[in-house]
Chains A and B, each alone.
Chain A
Amino acid sequence: MSELEYRKVSSIHGALMFLKGVEGVGLGDRVAIRDKDGRRRNGQVIRTSREVVLVQVFEGTDSLDLENTWVRFLDQPFELALSPDLLGRNFNGIGEPRDDRPPIISSLRRNVNGSPVNPAARAYPREFIQTGISTIDGLNSLVRGQKLPVFSGSGLPHNRLAAQIVRQARLPGDSSNFVIVFAAMGVSFSDARFFEHEFESSGVLRNVVMFINLANDPPMERLILPRTALTAAEYLAYELDHHVLVVITDMTNYAEALREVATEKGDVPSRKGYPGYLYSDLAEIYERAGRLRDRHGSITMIPILSMPSDDITHPIPDLSGYITEGQIVLSRELHSKSVYPPVNVPPSLSRLMKDGIGKDDTREDHPRVASQLYASYTRALEARNLASIIGSEELSERDRRYLEFADHFESSFVRQGADEERNIIETLDLAWALLSLLPPSALSRVSEEDLHKYHSWDGSS
């Protein structure tokens, strides 16, 4: 099969190519394409029948013509060659080197699509990761094997935040570092450079594998890039026993590429023109994070996505939120008040936090303190809202306390330096310093023992 080269392109349509009269081609097979100048491209079969075969061309179809395009069906899916030499390398979306070094040669090759993990084989993630960032560690704790995206917007410092997490993430009391798989889709050259520089300057470059598709690289390649990157991550985690931290940016560019192909194929659109299967497609990527019962390694995933017009109900953040185990939402308002990291606390969430914190993992008061900070901050935002209508002079004594609490919460708990690393105890102590601005009667989420132990109230209620 793979020896045969066809010249039977019947039409070309966006990134899609239709071939007639080619028999017995498998769905998802890899396709090698050669144009009249001898330039090679890669494609994948996305629909196949006895009459027509539909091929999606990753590099786009510019300057292809119908007569002089040779197509070879390789009778195999897309695979990535795997070896420990992946570490420290830089690839494109289909796993070809971008760093002028030779391709990886290995007899171990895996289908980049993977196959679904059996839920019965999973281990429940519960090991607390300290990122040194108070809003994450204290309020939305990350655990090993979790998928926790950053919902951001254009111009917000999500890259800085991701870089800080990568630099600081560790298990308390465990010296082993994370291995990093960095997957970038449609990012600008300067963003990619920023991350490379970060990895270099923190000396982890030897523990990083990068898969990069820049904004001016072919958009279709973005459809396969996260799958390639996760295939590498699975290998590193489950066969080489590493704890892998996967940073994927920007999922919005991925979804847009998917919409582009879906529209060309004529798929029925659901919301905002995205195909109905966007949920399942995103799930195929996100669900590859996790832990397995009988394996030492783990895959922790931090996808970054920019919310179009900061709209959290847009299909991309919305569907992601239904799949991932929480989200860290960034706020333009805090950013404009120059609070870094501008984590918007109320809508942020970590679903796996409850099992990774508390007595044996962080500190016994942690779950209640987190809940209390949420409740008090939400209450304080209501007071601030009220103050903006009736003026802060008109507020009750208690509401004024809440105003003060909100300001301190943002300026001392949320805000921290891009290099500032607070351990979890420091974060919790800081939380209690803030809660001490409020009278004990306002703190019903913490226990009386907690109050006794950590709360220092000197004012009168």
Chain B
Amino acid sequence: MGEVIEVNGPIVTIRQPGIRNGEQVKIGRMNLIGEVIHLREKDALVQVYESTESLHPGEQVEGLGHPLTVELGPGLLGQIFDGVQRPLDKIMQMSGEHISRGLEISALDRERVWHYLPDPEIVVGKRLRGGEILGTVMETESIEHRVLAPPDCSGEIIEHAPEGDYCIDEIIVRLRLDDGPIESLKMYHHWPVRQPRPYHSRASSGLPLITGQRILDTFFPMLKGGKAAVPGPFGAGKTIVQQQIARWANADIVLYVGCGERGNELVEILQTFPKLTDPYTGRSLMERTFLVANTSNMPVVAREASIYVGVTMAEYYRDQGYDVVMVADSTSRWAEALREVAGRLGQMPVEEGYPAYLASRLAAFYERAGTVNTLAGNHGSVSLIGAVSPPGGDFSEPVTSHTKEIIRTFWALSKPLADARHYPAVSWLESFTDYAERAAIWWSENVSQQWGLRRQQALSLLAEADELERIVNLVGPEALSSSQRWVLESSGLIKEAVLQQNALDPVDSYCSPEKQFQLLDLVLRYHKSGGELIGLGVPVEQLIELEFGVGLKRLKSTVTNEDLSPLEDYALKIRQCFDAMRVEYSNDSGAAS
């Protein structure tokens, strides 16, 4: 037993000989849980996951002998956990509407019975390697949970439970470890959160992560196993973008980590997801989703832990051979938690009070994304998507700028777009992706060979229009030529008919890759044939007055993913009208010459 020496906010100095760095400790009468982060001569500095109010110097401290770990096994999906993996509904049963301190609750339900189906290959006498699949249980109606051997144990199987109903605390496999002793395996195991889970090797991924959001999938695609950031000032719609990804991404498992954000946002997910249907399986979205919540009013230190707790659980499902998406909202709050702890430790601040290790911590976190060949011999991936909340919307601040160097897809949100209620407010000028070429392979095989070309055309059109708008703002629209005005008109169409997408509209909320391509294709074809007419001498005003634009802008919310034929009908309507004009104007010019 040791004792408390000093209490300084969430940092408690304790004196306990022999305690190790990273070890969990239980502090005082209130049984607060913390983690040793620094050793200084005889003293250890502990960051405490709960409020330290009323803690006295002199209270007792007990080292728990292990680092911060999570429980990994069936029963995680559909749950909402706090930053140190305690289920929030269990907390509510124990302490009511407010979270009291010192509650010890395990993550997985000990009472719940699972129907276990042993893997026929895992038989007595066989050598078991770490990370192998022992058997399966149906965790939800749509997700099969593959029960894994802990990655760090191997030996000869001497007993394997038959098919049947078990609680997670029952032993399902016994094995003789290589060095002799007998080890009993259950349906779950523990893993330290700050240590990435091992895999066989890294694999390359070529599959895009489809989110059903046109600006993301078509313009700035990301791959499964990729890393992306969504920076934006407040009110730019970060949360909606993140929630849309969590809803519609074509992943097997989605983990939403609410890190230092609003409580009501998590409630919204908890209340809406069970009612939404996964477009890929047709089942309730909640069956593949789980959440980690450390809201902004919950203790800061657990916020730092929540990101690691989340990514470790994501890796666990990856190791079962699933594509996992982890959405973290927001990594800035996590960085601020680092900063707060660093400040209390008296570490030298470098930029805006952040410690020097900010960049390396961020890089190490995002490095846990990736597609791997698992120890069990299949493929899995973790895609990481982190929101960034730059103070004042300034992307040059440390968290945004360091993140930008690490990630490969950058979905920059813009305040002016959000102010005009152009959602998602992803800026086509500031965003970037490194994955476009790899994604193009999938799109040309599955949707259209024209995809890469169309994407390029649209991006150049938008860039050109941006230049022209600058000119208009200096000298007025009269200075532009007809074809330049047509560029402005068409780029406006791309923005409103393609880029804008209404998350609240049942039709428009999810847009299939096929519809994404066809909408863009339609607008670009309209632009091209309109441009030809202008070349023949048709006044640009006349084209605009045809009012095809308004119709095009409505297609996204009237044409469903299931039936895209109205798009073709509309294209036909435009073509007929344009053809007639072409004949008229060719004749005119023919007559004139």
Contacts beyond the supplied A23-B57, A379-B420: 4 A-B pairs with Cβ under 8 Å: A124-B267, A287-B263, A378-B421, A448-B554
Choice from B92, B97, B421, B545 contacting A371 with Cβ under 8 Å: B421
Residues of B within 8 A of A374 (CB): 419-421
Residues of A within 8 A of B96 (CB): 118, 121
Nearest CB of A to B419, in Å: 4
A318–B264 Cα distance when bound, in Å, is 19
A290–B162 Cα distance when bound, in Å, is 50
B98 at the interface (CB under 8 A from A): yes
Residues of A within 8 A of B496 (CB): 444
Known: A119-B80, A124-B268, A374-B421. Contact between A313 and B54, CB under 8 A? no
**Contact present for A354 and B97 (CB under 8 Å):** no
Nearest CB of A to B454, in Å: 22
Choice from B99, B263, B473 contacting A385 with Cβ under 8 Å: B473
Please list the residues of chain B having a beta carbon within 8 angstroms of any beta carbon in chain A.
5-9, 13, 51-58, 80, 88-89, 91-92, 95-101, 233-235, 239, 258, 260, 262-264, 266-268, 270-271, 293, 295-300, 333, 336, 339-340, 342-343, 349, 352-353, 389, 391-394, 415, 418-422, 472-478, 496, 504, 545, 547, 549-550, 553-554
**Contact present for B54 and A27 (CB under 8 Å):** yes
Chosen A-B contacts, 6 in total, with CB atoms closer than 8 Å, are A48-B56, A116-B99, A118-B96, A119-B263, A276-B340, A318-B391
Known: A122-B264, A277-B340. Contact between A48 and B296, CB under 8 A? no
Residues of A within 8 A of B392 (CB): 313-315, 318
Residues of B within 8 A of A371 (CB): 421
A117 at the interface (CB under 8 A from B): yes
Residues of B within 8 A of A375 (CB): 420-422
Nearest CB of A to B186, in Å: 27
**Contact present for A288 and B297 (CB under 8 Å):** yes
A445–B422 Cα distance when bound, in Å, is 11
Flag A374-388 by CB within 8 Å of B: 1 or 0 each. Answer: 110011000001100
Residues of A within 8 A of B547 (CB): 441, 461
A441–B95 Cα distance when bound, in Å, is 57
Among A130-138, A179-187, A278-286, A404-412, the stretch in contact with B? A278-286
A23–B58 Cα distance when bound, in Å, is 8
A28 at the interface (CB under 8 A from B): yes
**Contact present for A117 and B263 (CB under 8 Å):** yes
**Contact present for A48 and B7 (CB under 8 Å):** yes
Residues of B within 8 A of A452 (CB): none
Choice from B88, B296, B504 contacting A367 with Cβ under 8 Å: B504
Choice from A113, A114, A287, A321 contacting B296 with Cβ under 8 Å: A287
**Contact present for A118 and B99 (CB under 8 Å):** yes
Nearest CB of B to A254, in Å: 16
Choice from A125, A288, A445 contacting B264 with Cβ under 8 Å: A125
**Contact present for A26 and B54 (CB under 8 Å):** yes
**Contact present for B91 and A120 (CB under 8 Å):** yes
**Contact present for B262 and A287 (CB under 8 Å):** yes
Known: A24-B58, A115-B99. Contact between A390 and B7, CB under 8 A? no
A271 at the interface (CB under 8 A from B): yes
Residues of A within 8 A of B389 (CB): 322
**Residues in A259-301 with C-beta less than 8 Å from chain B:** 267-271, 275-277, 279-280, 283-284, 286-288, 290, 292, 294-295
A292–B239 Cα distance when bound, in Å, is 22
Known: A116-B295, A276-B353, A287-B296. Contact between A327 and B53, CB under 8 A? no
Known: A24-B56, A28-B53, A124-B271. Contact between A119 and B98, CB under 8 A? no
Nearest CB of A to B544, in Å: 9
**How many residues of A are counted as interface, with CB atoms below 8 angstroms from the partner's CB atoms?**
85
A4 at the interface (CB under 8 A from B): no
Closest 9 CB pairs of A and B: A313-B392, A49-B6, A283-B296, A321-B234, A287-B297, A268-B343, A378-B420, A346-B419, A270-B353
Nearest CB of B to A432, in Å: 18
**Contact present for B297 and A271 (CB under 8 Å):** no
**Contact present for A27 and B336 (CB under 8 Å):** no
Nearest CB of A to B139, in Å: 20
A59 at the interface (CB under 8 A from B): no
**Residues in A355-372 with C-beta less than 8 Å from chain B:** 355, 367, 371
Please list the residues of chain A having a beta carbon within 8 angstroms of any beta carbon in chain B.
23-29, 47-50, 77, 111, 113-125, 145, 238, 267-271, 275-277, 279-280, 283-284, 286-288, 290, 292, 294-295, 313-315, 318-319, 321-323, 325-327, 346-347, 349, 351-352, 354-355, 367, 371, 374-375, 378-379, 385-386, 389-390, 394-396, 440-441, 444-445, 447-448, 461
Q: Which B-chain residue is minimally distant from A443 (CB atoms)?
A: B550
**Contact present for A279 and B296 (CB under 8 Å):** yes
**Contact present for B419 and A347 (CB under 8 Å):** yes
Residues of B within 8 A of A50 (CB): 5-6, 57-58
Known: A27-B53, A118-B98, A327-B235. Contact between A389 and B474, CB under 8 A? yes
Choice from B97, B233, B418, B550 contacting A121 with Cβ under 8 Å: B97
**Contact present for A118 and B91 (CB under 8 Å):** yes
Residues of B within 8 A of A279 (CB): 260, 296, 333, 336
**Contact present for A313 and B391 (CB under 8 Å):** yes
**Contact present for A120 and B89 (CB under 8 Å):** yes
Residues of B within 8 A of A29 (CB): 54
A409–B293 Cα distance when bound, in Å, is 42
A449–B54 Cα distance when bound, in Å, is 62
Known: A119-B293, A287-B263, A325-B264. Contact between A347 and B235, CB under 8 A? yes
Nearest CB of A to B324, in Å: 22
Residues of B within 8 A of A120 (CB): 80, 88-89, 91-92, 270
Residues of A within 8 A of B300 (CB): 277, 280
**Contact present for A117 and B234 (CB under 8 Å):** no
**Contact present for A326 and B235 (CB under 8 Å):** yes
Nearest CB of B to A350, in Å: 10
A390–B480 Cα distance when bound, in Å, is 14
A28–B7 Cα distance when bound, in Å, is 10
**Contact present for A118 and B88 (CB under 8 Å):** yes
Q: Which B-chain residue is minimally distant from A285 (CB atoms)?
A: B297
Residues of A within 8 A of B51 (CB): 113, 115
Residues of A within 8 A of B262 (CB): 287, 323, 325
**Contact present for A123 and B474 (CB under 8 Å):** no
Q: Which B-chain residue is minimally distant from A262 (CB atoms)?
A: B343
Residues of B within 8 A of A275 (CB): 343
Nearest CB of B to A409, in Å: 14
Q: Which B-chain residue is minimally distant from A394 (CB atoms)?
A: B476
Residues of A within 8 A of B266 (CB): 119
A26–B59 Cα distance when bound, in Å, is 10
Nearest CB of A to B570, in Å: 15
**Contact present for B352 and A354 (CB under 8 Å):** no
Residues of B within 8 A of A287 (CB): 262-263, 295-297
Nearest CB of B to A227, in Å: 12
A346–B55 Cα distance when bound, in Å, is 47
Residues of A within 8 A of B553 (CB): 444
A396–B8 Cα distance when bound, in Å, is 65
A142–B53 Cα distance when bound, in Å, is 34
Residues of A within 8 A of B89 (CB): 120
A27–B57 Cα distance when bound, in Å, is 9
**Contact present for B100 and A115 (CB under 8 Å):** yes
Q: Which B-chain residue is minimally distant from A282 (CB atoms)?
A: B296
Residues of A within 8 A of B476 (CB): 386, 389-390, 394-395
A123–B92 Cα distance when bound, in Å, is 14
Residues of A within 8 A of B268 (CB): 124, 355
Residues of A within 8 A of B391 (CB): 271, 313, 315, 318-319
Q: Which A-chain residue is minimally distant from B297 (CB atoms)?
A: A287
Residue from A113, A268, A321, A326 having most chain B Cβ neighbours under 10 A? A268
Known: A120-B80, A287-B297, A315-B391. Contact between A268 and B353, CB under 8 A? yes
Residues of B within 8 A of A48 (CB): 6-7, 56-57
**Contact present for A27 and B333 (CB under 8 Å):** no
**Contact present for B271 and A444 (CB under 8 Å):** no
A328–B205 Cα distance when bound, in Å, is 45
**Contact present for B13 and A49 (CB under 8 Å):** yes
A191–B567 Cα distance when bound, in Å, is 60
